[in-house]
Amino acid sequence: MIVYDYLDPFSTLWWMHGSVLPHIMWLSSLCTLNGAISVYFKESYNYYMDHTPHMYMGTTIGILLILKAILAYQHYTSATSTLRSFLDSIRLLAVRANAYGHCSGEENARSLVTGRVNIAKHICVLWYSLIFHLRKQRLIPKNSHLKLFLSDKELKMYEEADVRPLLVLLWIDRDIANLRDKGCMSDPVACMLSAEVTKLVEAFGVMERVKTYPTVPFAYYQFCNWAVFLFCFSVPASIASHNTDYASSSIFSFIVSFVYFGINFLGNDLQAPFGNGPNDVPMERYGIIIEHELYQSFPVFRFRFESFALFQEGFVVYPPDDVRNIPPKAFEAPKKISKWVPARIKIRAAMRLGNPRLRRFREAKATREREVDQMVKERLVEEQDIAALAKAIA
| Residue 353 confidence (pLDDT) | 57
Task: Please name the amino acid found at residue 66.
Answer: I
Please tell me whether residues 204 and 297 are part of one structural domain.
yes
Mark whether 367 and 307 lie in a shared domain: no
Segment 23-81, tens digit of pLDDT: 889 888 999 998 888 888 888 888 877 778 888 888 999 999 999 999 988 888 888 89
- Tell me, yes or no, whether 291 lies in a domain: yes
What digits encode the pLDDT tens for the residues 276-286? Answer: 888 888 888 89
Percent of the chain's residues with pLDDT above 90: 31
The pLDDT, as a whole number, for residue 333 is: 44
DSSP code of 136?
A: T
User: pLDDT, tens digit, for every residue of 304-339?
Assistant: 888 888 888 778 887 776 656 655 444 444 454 444
The band of 350, judged by pLDDT with boundaries at 50, 70 and 90, is: low
Q: What's the maximum distance between 2 C-alpha atoms anywhere in the chain?
A: 129
Would residue 355 count as lying in a domain?
Answer: yes
pLDDT band at 355 (very low <50, low <70, confident <90, very high): low
Alpha-carbon distance of 289 to 309, in angstroms, equals: 12
Same-domain check for residues 285 and 357: no
| 96 is a domain residue | yes
Q: What percent of the chain has pLDDT over 70?
A: 88
pTM as predicted: 0.74
**In-domain check, residue 356:** yes
- Residue 296 and residue 203 share a domain: yes
Q: Structural domain of residue 350, as residue ranges?
A: 343-393
> Structural domain tally of the chain?
2
Residue 70 lies in a domain: no
Shared domain check, 203 and 141: yes
Q: Band the pLDDT of 177: cuts 50, 70, 90.
A: very high
Co-location of 303 and 375 in the same domain: no
One domain, residues 209 and 311: yes
Residue 380 lies in a domain: yes
**Same domain, residue pair 293 and 201:** yes
If you average pLDDT over every residue of the chain, what do you get?
84
pLDDT for res 240: 85
Whether 106 and 164 map to the same domain: the answer is yes
Q: Is pLDDT of 245 > 60?
A: yes
- Does residue 350 share a domain with residue 207? no
- Report if residue 106 sits inside a domain: yes
Question: 3-class secondary structure for 293-345?
Answer: HHHHHCHHHHHHHHHHCCCCCCCCCCCCCCHHHCCHHHCCCCCCCCCCCCHHH
* Residue at 41 is within a domain: no
Span 109-147, pLDDT tens digits: 888 899 999 999 999 999 999 999 998 888 888 888 888
The pLDDT-based confidence of 198 (bands split at 50, 70, 90) is very high
Pair 150, 201 in one domain: yes
Report the distance separating Cα 68 and Cα 238, nearest Å.
25
